[in-house]
Amino acid sequence: MTPGQPVVLPGETMASVTDHIADITLNPFGRWWGACFAFSVLLLGIGVLGVGWLFLHGIQTFGNNWPVMWGFPIINYVWWIGMASGGTLISALFFLTGSEWRTSINRIAEGMTVFAAACAGIYPIIHLGRPWFFYWLIPYPNTMGLWPQFRSPLGWDFIAVLAYVVSSVLFWLLGLIPDLAALRDRATGRRQQVFYGVLALGFRGTGPQWRRFHRSYGILAAVMAPLVVSVHSIVGLDFAGAATPGWYSTQYPPFFVCGAALSGFGLVIMLLLPLRRILRLQPYITSRHFDVLGRLLLLASLAVSYCYVMDAFDVFYSGEDAVRIQFIERISGEYGWVYQATLLLNCLLPITLWSRWMRSHAVPLFAIGLGVVVGMWFERFGIVVAVLHRTDLPSAWGGYAPSLTDYAIFAGTVGLFGAGFLLFVRLLPVVSIAEMRQLLATRG
Amino acid sequence: MIVAAFPNAETLQGAARALRGAGLQVETRTPIALPEDEHGPSRIPRVIFGIALAGFAGAFGMQCYATMVSYPQLIGGRPNFFWTSFLVYAVETGVLAATTTGVFAFLLSNRLPRYWEPSDEHDALRAATRDGWFLVAEDPEARRLLHGMGSTSIDQVPA
């Protein structure tokens, strides 16, 4: 990457942007796509087997057991929903701030959000003992005369995640409508014309259509930005609401939001770097974008580091023996390596992004993105497993070993994300054509 | 039906204003929103706000009913009307109502999906989703009025 590039390389026009991005979607892809898709479907298949086994034999097939009653399902749920949140911050928050660099990467970030949120959404349902009764989470008049518990963060979690998943999909689809119309009008084959024609819903770019589109899109963005903060805060409250040493802390909601942003920015960088090269998006995704994303990742990493410091400070300031013993065990005991790896990957590795050289080179950027994505998984593992295995009663101390079902379902969610994201890349425009045209018109 | 192409947004906007001033019904087809449309008035924000507020109030009311009337619980003397903890559910429901309304208000107010209309028979209009600036008018009188307004082509299409 050449440092100092603008958000769009010179020489691009409305016509060239439309043609280039539409051509990517309308023309055949190389073998790389088929290979990646096959691998994702393989992982997804393993996950389907895992879920099938789980449904046949019940949740005893998870590694969860006393005292670690929350294992892989919640770790992976929080990890996926966190990465989803990072995508929404890019597409909604930076839309409101009017950041030009957001324009060409928001579609990929939103696609990532939708499929990461789908992976997260699976866990709360399958981890129920009787998943076929998942609708009991919904408040509705029933013959049993029962209601969900509205005063519990777990009840809030349901409505927050539901609102988030539905809103993310709607926000994504609304933004796609003008681009689907562009594809409909560029498509030459009958099947493509019908496919994109049906999806475009008859958008023709008339004055009232544009006016209402901008109004609706703007309001959705304005609602989505605080929504994403609230969703991850509520996920934090799932933990903070429990009277468990190590979790019972008021800093959990902001701590979780910062962590979500960190892993989300990491995953966006990991997806953008190869896509930019393979789909030849260099004119629209320039070194400027990676510079900004690198800085954002650094900022999120510093915020997360501050939370780790406060986490430790709280422990010793509180003066509670149970919390102190547990924390010392967390950083140096059986799972000490998890805590150390978390610090290394989430705090020390991103520090290198202070250097402009690191922000403008693909390989180190990808490595740091991967590092924080893995690091955030370790963080969740530490928060769930390392905390629960040393609770306040020494008689309840124990260990945790994930089962084969845990690993299979985890692999399945990775496969689901991969397959879903690859289908999106194949079938839908990966860069927002309409917003790129708007950007070019504004820049003159 | 008259379809006129323009080289840029400014000439199109000028022509559309002139024709509307002469009492004609005209429609613009553009690759991006014209400035007057981008910031133009719309009822959508008020509709979204109203429905979001209804979602908030409905969810809040439902929680009050559930915990105070339908299934009151006595847990350590804690009050059943605990409004602070009801806020979360109410806000999230309001947000869900706002986003769904936003999308459906956009579709319904534009009467979408609408898969065919007479102007679709004019292939040149496809450029409106690329870089073309068009004006569409039902009244054949528009053809005469459009002369000298900077259009690059004026076509008559069977309506």
CA distances from A83 to A89, A94, A106, A164 (A): 10, 17, 14, 13
- B59 and B92 together in one domain: yes
Give the helix/strand (H/E) hosting B155: strand B153-156
Give the helix/strand (H/E) hosting B154: strand B153-156
- B34 and B50 together in one domain: no
Closest residue, chain A, to B78 (C-alpha): A151
Band (A141; pLDDT cuts 50, 70, 90): confident
Chain B CB contacts of A19 below 8 Å: 130
| Pairing outcome for strands B153-156 and B26-29 | unpaired
- Pairwise CA distance, residues A271 & A131, whole Å: 33
Give the helix/strand (H/E) hosting A100: none
Q: Quick one: pLDDT at residue B140? A: 86
Alpha helices in A319-361 (DSSP H): 321-332, 336-343, 349-351, 356-359
- The answer, yes or no, to whether residue A110 has pLDDT greater than 80, is yes
- B122 and B98 together in one domain: no
Q: Quick one: pLDDT at residue B12? A: 95
Look-up of token digits 């939103």: A110
- B57 and B97 together in one domain: yes
Which of A138, A170, A215, A437 to mutate against chain B (most B CBs within 10 Å)? A215
Chain B CB contacts of A213 below 8 Å: 33, 106
Give the residue-averaged pLDDT of A407-432. Answer: 97
Chain A CB contacts of B30 below 8 Å: 205, 207, 210
Q: B130–A206: do the CB atoms touch at under 8 Å?
A: no
B83-109 vs A207-240: helix crossing angle, rounded to 10: 160
Q: B40–A213: do the CB atoms touch at under 8 Å?
A: no
Contact present, B117 and B104 (Cβ < 8 Å): no
- B50 and B62 together in one domain: yes
- Pairwise CA distance, residues A312 & A290, whole Å: 33
- Pairwise CA distance, residues A166 & A121, whole Å: 11
> Is A278 part of the contact surface with chain B (CB cutoff 8 Å)?
no
Q: With a threshold of 0.85, tell me whether the complex ipTM lies above it.
A: yes
- Pairwise CA distance, residues A61 & A127, whole Å: 11
- Pairwise CA distance, residues A34 & A31, whole Å: 5
User: Over chain A, what is the mean pLDDT?
Assistant: 94
Give Cβ neighbours of residue A243 (< 8 Å, ≥ 6 apart).
none
Give percent above pLDDT 70 in chain A: 100
- The answer, yes or no, to whether residue A414 has pLDDT greater than 90, is yes
Q: Quick one: pLDDT at residue A269? A: 97
Q: B33–A162: do the CB atoms touch at under 8 Å?
A: no
Which of B92, B101, B111, B136 to mutate against chain A (most A CBs within 10 Å)? B92
- B49 and B103 together in one domain: yes
- pLDDT tens by residue, A362-401: 999 999 999 999 999 999 999 999 999 998 888 989 999 9
Q: Which of A15, A159, A210 sits opposite B131 (nearest CB)?
A: A15
Q: Quick one: pLDDT at residue A244? A: 87
- Pairwise CA distance, residues A438 & A213, whole Å: 13
Q: Quick one: pLDDT at residue B122? A: 87
CB interface of A with B, residues 3-42, below 8 Å: 13-15, 18-19
Chain A CB contacts of B107 below 8 Å: 201
Cα maximum dimension of chain B: 83
Give Cβ neighbours of residue A442 (< 8 Å, ≥ 6 apart).
none
Q: Quick one: pLDDT at residue A392? A: 85
Q: What is the CA radius of gyration of chain B?
A: 25
Q: B102–A220: do the CB atoms touch at under 8 Å?
A: yes
- pLDDT tens by residue, A156-213: 999 999 999 999 999 999 999 999 999 999 999 999 999 999 999 999 999 999 999 9
- The answer, yes or no, to whether residue A444 has pLDDT greater than 80, is no
Q: How is domain A14-443 classified at the CATH fold level?
A: Formate dehydrogenase/DMSO reductase fold (1.20.1630)
Q: Quick one: pLDDT at residue A152? A: 87
Give the helix/strand (H/E) hosting A137: none
Domain ranges of chain A: 14-443
Chain A CB contacts of B44 below 8 Å: 212, 215-216, 219
Q: Quick one: pLDDT at residue A77? A: 96
Give percent above pLDDT 90 in chain A: 86
- B51 and B91 together in one domain: yes
- B65 and B24 together in one domain: no
- B101 and B88 together in one domain: yes
Q: Quick one: pLDDT at residue A363? A: 96
Q: B113–A227: do the CB atoms touch at under 8 Å?
A: no
Q: Quick one: pLDDT at residue B142? A: 87
Q: Quick one: pLDDT at residue A182? A: 96
- Tell me the β-bridge partners of B5: B134, B153
Number of domains, chain B: 2
- B53 and B104 together in one domain: yes
- Tell me the β-bridge partners of B156: B2
> Is A204 part of the contact surface with chain B (CB cutoff 8 Å)?
yes
> Is A222 part of the contact surface with chain B (CB cutoff 8 Å)?
no
- pLDDT tens by residue, A87-107: 999 999 999 998 999 999 999
> What predicted TM-score, i.e. pTM, was given to this entire model?
0.95
Chain B CB contacts of A159 below 8 Å: 59, 88-89, 92-93, 96
A212: closest CA of chain B, how far (Å): 6
A37 against B139, higher pLDDT: A37
Which residues constitute the domain of residue B54?
44-109
The count of other CB atoms within 10 Å of the CB of residue A227 is 26
Q: B89–A230: do the CB atoms touch at under 8 Å?
A: no
> What SS3 class is residue A210?
helix
Q: Quick one: pLDDT at residue A4? A: 84
- B29 and B53 together in one domain: no
CA distances from B13 to A315, A386, B26, B35, B129 (A): 65, 65, 11, 9, 17
What strands, in cross-sheet order, belong to the sheet with B153-156? Answer: B26-29, B133-137, B2-6, B153-156
- The answer, yes or no, to whether residue A1 has pLDDT greater than 80, is no
Q: Which of A371, A361, A368, A431 is nearest to A101 (CA)?
A: A431
Q: B99–A13: do the CB atoms touch at under 8 Å?
A: no
- Chunked into runs of 10 residues, chain B (159 residues) has average pLDDT values of 92 93 92 87 93 98 94 88 92 97 96 89 91 92 88 85
> Is A160 part of the contact surface with chain B (CB cutoff 8 Å)?
yes
- B21 and B49 together in one domain: no
